[in-house]
Amino acid sequence: MKDFISKQFKEPKGLVGKAAGKVMAYENGALYDWTFHKLGINNGDMVLEIGFGPGEGLNKLLSSFPKCTADGYDPSEAMVELAKEKNEDSIESGRLRIRKGTAFDVLTENQYDRIYSVNSFPMWEEKEQAIQHLHSILKNEGTISITVQPRQKEATIKEAMRLSDEISAYLKQAGFHTIKMDDKELKPCTAICVSGTK
């Protein structure tokens, strides 16, 4: 049962997956505004979210920055459906495009000012290669921010710092500079946000 629930948060499916998505939206709410601040979004930027879950972050982004446009990629069909429902107006106006897929599915001709991810990084496949691909589709002087808050029962600040070191190393290997880690004390565990500039 534990493995089934864990899988629903990794790649939510069906009604149970949608329920998991709503939990994600509630728990990640406080992290989005923090991430946007660290990302340094300017009104008018083209922004990409990897692993958008139920679409709460995209909704916050486009509400807070009315001149921004955005793309979102998530591997879960259930999350794609929820995100489309949550962001129907932005999709219809042409400000938002929702896609099923991972970082590797983002077309290389797309070029973004900002890229972010909140609490999806631990589920990524081939993390190092994914970050290299994101570097290739980011404009020069563009920024990336990856935020993670460990949620497992045994999560500690040690796990948060391990993730911070891992993300920082991948960003450096991909060619990002001015890499910075910030932390935020939250329950059940400290959240970290690692940012870099191309």
Can you list the domains of the chain with their CATH numbers?
A: 2-197 (3.40.50.150)
DSSP code string of the chain:
-HHHHHHHHHS--HHHHHHHHHHHHHHHHHHHHHHHHHHT--TT-EEEEES-TTSHHHHHHHHH-TT-EEEEEES-HHHHHHHHHHTHHHHHHTSEEEEES-GGGS-TT--EEEEEEES-GGG-SSHHHHHHHHHHTEEEEEEEEEEE---STT--HHHHHHHHHHHHHHHHHHT-EEEEEEEE--SSS-EEEEEEE-
The pTM score is: 0.86
Q: What tens digit of pLDDT does each residue of 92-115 get? A: 999 999 999 999 999 888 799 999
Residues of the chain with pLDDT under 70: 1-27
Q: What tens digit of pLDDT does each residue of 46-78 get? A: 999 999 999 999 999 999 999 999 999 999 999
Write down the pLDDT at residue 30. Answer: 84
